[in-house]
Amino acid sequence: MARKLPSTATPTPATLPYEAARRVANPPAAVLDFLQTTYAAAADLMCWDRPALERATVPDPAS
């Protein structure tokens, strides 16, 4: 079921400039942090049932 955005919500695109990610000490960690926080903000804004959608642990691709 679709939910209506709160009237105060102003959707804006989330961006992580390439140069900003490239200049930090750990670029992969910076990109992962950006993706996780962007997902969390969007999911909370849209009132998703995050516990039902998210895994408690990430499966190990090697196993």
| Under 8 Å between Cβ of 33 and 20 | no
Classify residue 63 by its DSSP letter. Answer: -
pLDDT tier at 13 (50, 70, 90 boundaries)? Answer: confident
Region 12-31 average pLDDT: 89
pTM (2 decimals)?
0.64
CA 45/CA 38 separation, integer angstroms: 11
